[in-house]
């Protein structure tokens, strides 16, 4: 039964809905911008009407559509042998691009995917896609789960929501499961993917065992850590498609139980937070999951979790918390309520006695595994408090909670250019990776530079590889003998997603300069910036922050130069001389 038309039709249906919405908003944008307060004042005051009555109902419809599509796809199209024919079509298009004259015939444009802006997580606006240089990559399939090798082979457009549901239903999960449902395997490998198990397994790309890549010649190669393409294997992560089209990845999986037993530890100083993080992540037997939320410069909650069998959870029914139930509040709000209750009871621990194995958790809960993996989806971490200010209130949750979560693509589709610029100027969405020992300095800097809360803290391994990719353990740790070749260093992701304090108070604030300050702080402290976000670095700063030696060699060796866009040109917003593109 030939249902291959679904690959194209699903994009046309969803794209058509979004095109109509975009047209309406562009008309409104042009009209309201002429009013006294302009579109921004109108949008900020009345956006909730559009979210409640348009975005949320459409989100439910879109969710149902994708689930139906996945059912049809898995039932009729999820055949591994079809993968080869899909990849062959991509190869044909790449070769046709070359035969037609390449970038010269495409107005100087280099090869890229045709994935539309509204489906991407990035906050940047892209202007490099045209019908002449953008190649469709309709690869949505879960190809094979190997329960003996403990790996899953997937195509790059498979989303985290779909993949986690598929695996957990069979008793497995990825070693690292990033939060948001719409994140794709390809984006998490070519870009950046971290989660609360990263202190054990590293980033998403660190859990890969093989990549299939279509090169600029149209040839498809399989890269593994120990074959002739080992250099390509280690260069693909963080390359943002600058080496070729990723068409398949093999990722490690592990056994999963139906519940996660989660312990909450309120803290009152950054020293307590760092002590607990250090004790949890570098122990001989670390927990499966570690996460922290800071609600101001000093106070926060550190969480540690492990898988728990269903029998154990059912033996503690009063501690089971399915946070995805429609009337439950956002997870970030739930954690803050635990902190506030603990403070009211006067139970915050003293720093002198704070240590792993000594301090008892304030609360212990059993959360269904799928719900835990996607616990921040409903609130989009805490961004929904800006988008829908009363969305976490009890009356809204009980009346309209069934309509959540809102679709991120639909939110982006209903955001006109003027509001996009507003968010770039008055909003921060950044993830900074710093060595764990520098977490106190990182929190202090984020407070002074952004004053943006909550902060998300997620520890992760940063490993030596051979050859070394874009990220490497800090030179200071290596020089002091703390990290040796073949080993790893514990880093922590500090995530900041909200409007800065000065803006919320109506004060003057320069977001562009704040981002530049933050990037310089990362460079000076052996840190790294997650490049899905708005990036202000110059090319020299980018080359200083990241280890580009292997990346540059592979760009030349695999003939990517002049055919695929350089990663810097895709992710950064350089000015002046730095804006000259490196082909």
Q: Where are the alpha helices (DSSP H) in 525-562?
A: 539-545, 549-557
Q: Does 436 have pLDDT greater than 80?
A: yes
Say if 157 falls within a structural domain: yes
CATH number at residue 528: 3.30.70
Euclidean distance between CA atoms 302 and 320, whole angstroms: 19
Phi, psi of 431 (to 5 degrees): -125, 120
Euclidean distance between CA atoms 134 and 443, whole angstroms: 41
Say if 545 falls within a structural domain: no
Say if 302 falls within a structural domain: yes
Tally: H helices and E strands in the chain: 23, 16
Q: Are 113 and 243 found together in one domain?
A: yes
Cis, peptide link before residue 405, omega less than 30° from 0: yes
Q: Are 244 and 119 found together in one domain?
A: yes
pLDDT tens, position by position, 302-338: 999 999 999 999 999 999 999 989 999 999 999 999 9
If pLDDT is split at 50, 70 and 90, which confidence band does 234 have?
A: very high
Say if 398 falls within a structural domain: no
Q: Are 270 and 242 found together in one domain?
A: no
Reduced to 3 states (helix: H, G, I; strand: E, B; else coil), residue 229 is coil
If pLDDT is split at 50, 70 and 90, which confidence band does 36 have?
A: very low
pTM of the model: 0.88
Say if 548 falls within a structural domain: no
Q: Does 531 have pLDDT greater than 50?
A: yes
Phi, psi of 369 (to 5 degrees): -60, -45
If pLDDT is split at 50, 70 and 90, which confidence band does 439 have?
A: very high
If pLDDT is split at 50, 70 and 90, which confidence band does 578 have?
A: very low
pLDDT score at 134: 86
Q: Does 252 have pLDDT greater than 50?
A: yes
Q: Are 241 and 277 found together in one domain?
A: no
Q: Does 32 have pLDDT greater than 60?
A: no
Domain count, the chain: 3
Q: Are 98 and 143 found together in one domain?
A: yes
Strands (E), 256-349: 259-267, 289-294, 300-308
Residue 446 structural domain = 420-536
pLDDT score at 279: 87
Euclidean distance between CA atoms 382 and 496, whole angstroms: 10
pLDDT score at 27: 57
Say if 84 falls within a structural domain: no
Euclidean distance between CA atoms 245 and 140, whole angstroms: 14
Phi, psi of 188 (to 5 degrees): -75, -25
Say if 119 falls within a structural domain: yes
pLDDT tens, position by position, 83-98: 999 999 999 999 999 9
Domain end, chosen from 229, 255, 281, is at 255
CATH number at residue 194: 3.30.465.10
Domain end, chosen from 342, 376, 410, is at 376
Domain end, chosen from 255, 284, 299, is at 255
pLDDT score at 40: 57
Q: Are 248 and 268 found together in one domain?
A: no
Say if 573 falls within a structural domain: no
In contact, 582 and 546? CB cutoff 8 Å: no
Q: Are 480 and 367 found together in one domain?
A: no
pLDDT score at 20: 61
Q: Are 250 and 264 found together in one domain?
A: no
Q: Are 210 and 341 found together in one domain?
A: no
Q: Are 198 and 298 found together in one domain?
A: no
Euclidean distance between CA atoms 545 and 375, whole angstroms: 32
Euclidean distance between CA atoms 204 and 461, whole angstroms: 11
Least trusted range by pLDDT, from 193-207, 268-282, 550-564, 569-583: 569-583
pLDDT score at 158: 92
Q: Are 237 and 371 found together in one domain?
A: no
Q: Are 122 and 220 found together in one domain?
A: yes
Q: Does 558 have pLDDT greater than 90?
A: yes
Q: Of how many residues is the chain composed?
A: 583
Reduced to 3 states (helix: H, G, I; strand: E, B; else coil), residue 574 is coil
């Amino acid at each position: 039964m030939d249902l291959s038309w679904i690959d194209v039709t699903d994009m046309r249906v969803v794209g058509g809905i979004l095109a109509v919405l975009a047209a309406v908003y562009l008309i409104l944008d042009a009209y309201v911008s002429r009013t006294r307060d302009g579109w921004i004042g109108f949008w900020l005051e009345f956006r909730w009407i559009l979210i409640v009555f348009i975005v949320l109902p459409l989100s439910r419809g879109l969710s149902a559509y994708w689930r139906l599509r996945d059912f049809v796809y898995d039932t009729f199209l999820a055949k591994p042998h079809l993968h080869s024919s899909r990849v062959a079509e991509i190869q044909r298009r790449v070769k046709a691009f070359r035969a037609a004259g390449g970038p010269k015939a495409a107005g100087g444009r280099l090869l890229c995917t045709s994935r539309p802006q509204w489906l991407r997580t990035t906050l940047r606006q892209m202007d490099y896609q045209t019908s002449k240089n953008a190649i469709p990559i309709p690869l949505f399939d879960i190809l094979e789960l190997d329960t003996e090798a403990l790996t899953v082979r997937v195509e790059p457009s498979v989303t985290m929501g779909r993949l986690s549901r598929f695996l957990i239903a069979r008793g497995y999960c990825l070693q690292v499961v990033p939060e948001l449902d719409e994140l794709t395997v390809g984006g998490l490998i070519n870009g950046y993917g971290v989660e609360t198990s990263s202190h054990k397994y590293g980033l998403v790309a660190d859990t890969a065992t093989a990549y299939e890549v279509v090169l600029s010649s149209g040839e498809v190669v399989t890269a593994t850590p120990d074959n002739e393409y080992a250099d390509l294997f280690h260069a693909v992560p963080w390359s943002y498609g600058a080496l070729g089209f990723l068409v398949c990845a093999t990722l490690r999986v592990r056994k999963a139980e139906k519940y996660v037993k989660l312990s909450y530890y309120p803290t009152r100083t950054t020293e307590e937070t760092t002590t607990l993080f250090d004790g949890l992540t570098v122990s001989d037997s670390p927990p499966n999951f570690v996460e922290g939320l800071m609600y101001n410069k000093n106070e926060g909650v550190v969480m540690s979790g492990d898988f728990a069998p269903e029998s154990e959870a059912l033996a503690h029914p009063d501690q089971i918390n399915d946070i995805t139930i429609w009337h439950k509040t956002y997870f970030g709000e739930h954690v803050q309520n635990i902190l506030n209750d603990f403070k009211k009871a006067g139970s915050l621990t003293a720093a002198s006695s704070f240590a792993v194995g000594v301090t008892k958790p304030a609360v212990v809960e059993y959360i269904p595994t799928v719900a835990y993996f996607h616990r921040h989806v409903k609130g989009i971490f805490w961004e929904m408090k800006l988008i829908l200010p009363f969305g976490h209130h009890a009356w809204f949750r009980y009346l309209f909670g069934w309509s959540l979560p809102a679709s991120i693509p639909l939110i982006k589709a209903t955001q006109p250019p003027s509001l996009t610029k507003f968010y770039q100027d008055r909003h921060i969405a950044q993830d900074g990776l710093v060595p764990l020992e520098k977490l106190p300095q990182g929190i202090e800097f984020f407070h002074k530079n952004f004053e943006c809360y909550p902060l998300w803290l997620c520890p992760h391994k940063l490993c030596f590889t051979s050859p070394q990719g874009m990220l490497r353990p800090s030179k200071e740790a290596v020089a002091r003998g703390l990290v040796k070749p073949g080993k790893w260093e514990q880093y922590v992701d500090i995530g900041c997603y909200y409007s800065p304090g000065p803006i919320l108070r109506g004060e003057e604030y320069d977001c562009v300069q704040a981002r530049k300050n933050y990037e310089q702080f990362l460079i000076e402290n052996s840190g790294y910036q997650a490049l899905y976000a708005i990036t202000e670095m110059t090319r020299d700063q980018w080359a200083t922050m990241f280890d580009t030696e292997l990346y540059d060699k592979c760009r030349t060796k695999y003939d990517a130069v002049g055919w695929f866009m350089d990663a810097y040109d895709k992710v950064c917003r350089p000015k002046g001389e730095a804006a000259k593109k490196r082909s």
